[in-house]
Amino acid sequence: MKKLVIILVLIFGITIAVQNNTATGQEKTYTQTEVDLTTQVQDSGQQVAGIQDNSELHGGKCSTAVITSIILIIIVIGVIVIVSGIGIYITYFICRRKTKKAEKRINEEIEKNSQLRKEIETIKNEVSKLKNQIQNSREEVEKP
């Protein structure tokens, strides 16, 4: 039992001494496993930082690719709008020319119709004069 008490006193004494050493600012001695673990933690931290840097670079490349594709889409839409605008203008110009030709043709036909109407009226007037003459001559013949 004495041995047990002595061992316990030694363990408590060593523990108190170790606590006093760390509390007074003296450096703590580390085992090899602790050193290896801290080295691994530092290495993994460096790897994480490297991966983050790579992801930022790739993210920049991805965002550049996205921006480039958006710009290309806008350019394609612009070209389509320009081509369709030119097509609409050409169509408008052609329709306008056809309309002017049709108006000219219609005006010529209207002029012809008005000339025909005048001719018909003159003929009608002549016919009515002849009719009146015939009636007058008939009346003269019928008069005894």
Tell me if 21 is assigned to some domain: no
Residues 98, 114 within the same domain: no
Residues 117, 96 within the same domain: no
Q: What is the pLDDT of residue 16?
A: 76
Q: What is the extent of the structural domain holding 120?
A: 110-144
Residue 31 has pLDDT above 80, yes or no: no
Which of 24-28, 42-46, 59-63 has the weakest average pLDDT? 24-28
Which of 53-62, 117-126, 130-139 has the weakest average pLDDT? 53-62
- The candidate with the shortest Cα–Cα distance to 50, out of 144, 58, 14, is 58
2 vs 126, residue with greater confidence: 126
Q: Is 120 left (phi over 0), alpha (psi -120 to 50) or beta?
A: alpha
